Amino acid sequence: MPHTYIGNCAWIDESLIKAGTFYPADAKTPESRLRFYSSIFPTVEVDTSYYAIPKQEVVSQWVQRTPADFRFHVKAFRFLTLHWTEAKFLLPEQRELAPKKPRFYYQDASKELVDAVLKQFRVVFEPLMQTGKQGVLLFQFPSWVMPNNSVKDHILNMKGALQGYQIAVEFRNKLWYDEKNHKETSKWLEQNKLLTVCVDEPQGFDDSVPPLAEVTSDIAYVRFHGRNKATWKATGEKASERFDWYYKENELREWLPRIRSLQEEAEEVDILFNTNNQDQGPRNALLLAGLLKEGAQTENADMIATVESRLGLAASPGAGKLF
């Protein structure tokens, strides 16, 4: 049976801190919160790097504040995933190379700017690579990116420029996995040793990818986005409002056979919850860990039991606590 790791997308969202149900009252600093989080969960997805690449000293602090076997999955900077960005999110010296427009895309940029951003990314996350705490590098593409060879070439260029990273690809256009393209998409990912990002998300939209359980590399990667149809297409919403969902036990039970099938094919299974309004992330993650009887930091049984109680999971008769 491969290792299965469950965690959240981010750990210091303002909404989570204000909820007051996950972190203990004395966890008031970034350091204490990360230390506490990593005592409950063995992994996390860093989503802030999508908006701007952090400073290396911040990444070094992450390394120092987490257990030796903890891993950070990192979301690629949006400029590299064909989303728009703005010069203010670049380093001062990079802004001189940026297109002179309020917002710009990768295809607008010079090779010099692309090379500078890629170099910055490699340097900043070197502490994770050196300590073995680097998980996958997530490339989440916008919904308007449809199946075509130029997108595939871009992904392979990114893989070549970021050697040593395990690249996970999340497409957000259903055409990649429709009857015409599904087989070809999966085959191409497997041939190039790229991870398929399996998702749970609202269905019925042009960017609704079906809840597939597929393995195209040695790691299986699953992201739970919630099932809030009312906010899925909302623009201008905070992430915590768009992915606003407390999973019900029966909804997570739908995934148990899928996860077991992933465990049969992969050497490792990583499951991340992107539901991040208030305490949804840790509650949903611990609910699934209880159903699977694995995935959290099981050596800290008493601490997890306390957190489950604060999150209201102790009163859930059918879920089955972790211990």
Contact (Cβ atoms closer than 8 angstroms) between residue 230 and residue 204: no
Confirm whether 202 is domain-assigned: yes
Q: How far is CA 1 from CA 219, 265, 294, in A?
A: 13, 10, 11
CA distance 257 to 288: 13
> Is the residue at 124 inside a domain?
yes
End-to-end CA distance of the chain: 19
Condensed to tens digits (0 to 9), the pLDDT of residues 287-298 reads: 999 999 999 998
Residue 302 lies in a domain: yes
Q: What is the pLDDT of residues 193-221, one digit of tens each?
A: 999 999 999 999 888 999 999 999 999 99
Q: What is the pLDDT of residue 109?
A: 97
Q: What is the overall mean pLDDT for the chain?
A: 94
300: domain CATH number is 3.20.20.410
CA dist., res. 199 & res. 140, Å (int) = 12
* Lowest mean pLDDT, pick from 59-63, 144-148, 164-168, 233-237: 233-237
Name the 3-class secondary structure at 56. Answer: helix
**What proportions of the chain, in percent to the nearest 5, are helix, strand and coil?**
45, 15, 40
Instruction: Give the separation between CA 134 and CA 149, rounded to whole angstroms.
Output: 29
Alpha-carbon dihedral 165, 168, 173, 179, rounded to 10 degrees: 120
Q: State yes or no: pLDDT of 239 exceeds 80.
A: no
Q: Which amino acid is at 89?
A: F
Check residue 200 and give its pLDDT. 98
Amino acid letter, 191? Q
For residues 129 and 242, the model is more confident at: 129
**Residue 277, domain member (yes or no):** yes
Residue 319, in any domain of the structure: no
Q: Pick from 25, 126, 12, 8: which is nearest to 73 by CA?
A: 8
Q: Give per-residue pLDDT as tens, 3-21.
A: 999 999 999 999 999 999 9
Read off the pLDDT of each residue in 88-109 and give the average, rounded to a whole number.
96
Q: In the predicted model, is pLDDT for residue 320 greater than 60?
A: no
What pLDDT, on a 0 to 100 scale, did the predictor assign at position 14? 92
pLDDT confidence of residue 300: 86
Task: Count CB neighbours of 82 within 10 A.
Answer: 19
Question: Domain span at residue 137?
Answer: 3-314
Q: What are phi and psi of 81, to 5 degrees?
A: -110, 25
Q: Is residue 46 part of a domain?
A: yes
Rounded CA-CA distance 33/274 in Å is 18
**φ and ψ of 92, to 5 deg:** -50, -45
Tell me the residue type at 174.
Answer: K
Q: Give the per-residue pLDDT at 299.
A: 85
pLDDT the model gives residue 236: 62
Per-residue pLDDT band at 237 (split at 50, 70, 90): low
d(CA 184, CA 172): 16
Instruction: Please determine, for residue 115, whether its predicted confidence score (pLDDT) is greater than 70.
Output: yes
* Domain count across the chain: 1
Report yes or no on 278 lying in a domain: yes
Mean pLDDT of the 157-183 span: 97
Establish if 320 belongs to a structural domain. Answer: no
Q: Give which of 317, 241, 319, 304 is closest to 39, Cα–Cα.
A: 304
Of 75, 78, 19, 80, give the one whose Cα is nearest residue 277: 19
